[in-house]
């Protein structure tokens, strides 16, 4: 059975909502990436999400809600800090870790007593959640560990025949996943950088501690998605060069020349300005857009990685990006996608 590609007409959205209520899986656009939706309170639907993606049970799912007022459906309590953050950033690309309500299956939360929740801002996601009338668990709509999808074509490339439907509304606007903030710690803890910057969070709630690696206590169940060292990866090996931009770029160029002399195919993923310095080399290139525009680079990141992957290079080369604002999330995704980080 092939996956249905749905448009955003009222009839198609009503059909998608009915599929979700029946326990089927529907991929849909959010402002971050495409999510793979299933009824969050239906254990069989949750199990189907893990099966379709090939996702380990130790990696929890994010529950998506239509509105902040739906939080009591999935959270046992709502800390004042969480309410403050919801007022400031929802709907939007911020996921909050909260105490789990008993009605949320433990399979959703990797066996932990906390649940990851967000209210997406994308109009199609919002309309689907309203029409479905149930909380929807939705990790990224791709094979586990693979580059995240920002178009319906990306979803179908990974999951065609594994899910009931995908709602096609073009490319997602932000292009990288949501920020994840644990509201059960004091101070709150940034677990995954994303569409809301650390600086924006601290402007609202004050100091935020940063932890983007699993703790020993999370060996059998992670607190948040996006904590695994290897994630978001293309099928072909990615090497990331980290250091001062000019030095990293010089080292990247030297590696490209070595690979080309060995008769290998080379893919290069860089900001637009950097690519100009490699125009004399016969490499496959994808631009992230201007280095001065992190939002443009985030929007392009996964699509560019998938485009390079499709050309079957023997190796993809990229350089690290600045660790500030949205650049923190870009650096996080590149480092987790990389098979090797070369410090220069």
pLDDT at position 90 is: 98
pLDDT at position 125 is: 98
pLDDT at position 217 is: 79
pLDDT at position 119 is: 98
Taking the C-alpha atoms of residue 234 and residue 314, their distance in angstroms, rounded to an integer, is 12
Architecture of the structural domain at 238-343 = 3-Layer(aba) Sandwich (3.40)
CATH 3.40.50.11030 maps onto the chain at 238-343
pLDDT at position 249 is: 96
pLDDT at position 215 is: 86
DSSP states of 220-287 as a string?
SS-SSTT-SSS-SB-SS-EEEEESSHHHHHHHHHHHHHHHHHTT--EEEEE-HHHHGGGTTS--EEEE
CATH 3.90.870.10 maps onto the chain at 4-218
Question: Which residues of the chain have a pLDDT value below 70?
Answer: none
pLDDT at position 257 is: 97
Among the listed residues 325, 288, 65, 33, the one whose alpha carbon sits nearest the alpha carbon of residue 174: 33
Tell me if residue 160 falls in helix, strand or coil: coil
Taking the C-alpha atoms of residue 179 and residue 24, their distance in angstroms, rounded to an integer, is 27
Tell me if residue 114 falls in helix, strand or coil: strand
* Domain 4-218 -> CATH class: alpha beta
Contact 183, 98 (CB under 8 A): yes
pLDDT at position 214 is: 86
Q: What is the pTM of this model?
A: 0.96
């Amino acid at each position: 059975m092939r996956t249905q590609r749905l448009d955003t007409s009222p009839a198609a959205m009503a059909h998608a909502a009915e599929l979700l209520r029946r326990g089927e899986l529907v991929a849909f656009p959010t402002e971050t990436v495409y999510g793979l939706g299933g009824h969050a309170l239906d254990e069989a639907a949750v199990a189907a999400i893990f099966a379709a993606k090939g996702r380990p049970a130790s990696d929890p799912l994010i529950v998506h809600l239509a509105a902040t007022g739906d939080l009591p459906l999935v959270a046992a309590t709502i800390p004042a800090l969480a309410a403050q953050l919801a007022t400031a950033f929802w709907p939007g690309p911020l996921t909050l870790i909260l105490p789990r309500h008993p009605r949320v299956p433990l399979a959703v939360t990797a066996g932990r007593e906390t649940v990851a929740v967000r209210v997406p801002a994308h109009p199609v996601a919002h309309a689907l959640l309203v029409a479905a009338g149930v909380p929807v668990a939705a990790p990224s709509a791709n094979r586990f560990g693979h580059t995240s999808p920002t178009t319906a074509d990306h979803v179908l490339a990974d999951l065609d025949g594994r899910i009931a439907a995908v709602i096609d509304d073009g490319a997602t606007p932000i292009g990288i996943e949501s920020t994840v903030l644990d509201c059960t710690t004091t101070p709150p803890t940034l677990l995954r950088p994303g569409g809301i910057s650390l600086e924006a969070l601290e402007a609202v709630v004050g100091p935020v501690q940063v932890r983007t690696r699993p703790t020993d206590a999370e060996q059998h169940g992670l607190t948040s998605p996006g904590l695994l060292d290897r994630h978001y990866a293309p099928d072909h090996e990615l090497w990331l060069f980290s250091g001062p931009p000019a030095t990293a770029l010089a080292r990247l160029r030297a590696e490209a020349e070595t690979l080309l002399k060995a008769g290998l195919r080379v893919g290069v993923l860089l900001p637009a300005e950097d690519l100009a310095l490699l125009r004399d080399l016969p490499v496959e290139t994808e631009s992230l857009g201007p280095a001065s525009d992190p939002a443009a680079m985030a929007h392009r990141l996964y699509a560019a990685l998938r485009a390079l992957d499709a050309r079957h290079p023997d190796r993809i080369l990229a350089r690290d990006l600045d660790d500030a604002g949205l650049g923190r999330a870009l650096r996080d995704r590149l480092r987790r996608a990389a098979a090797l980080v070369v410090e220069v």
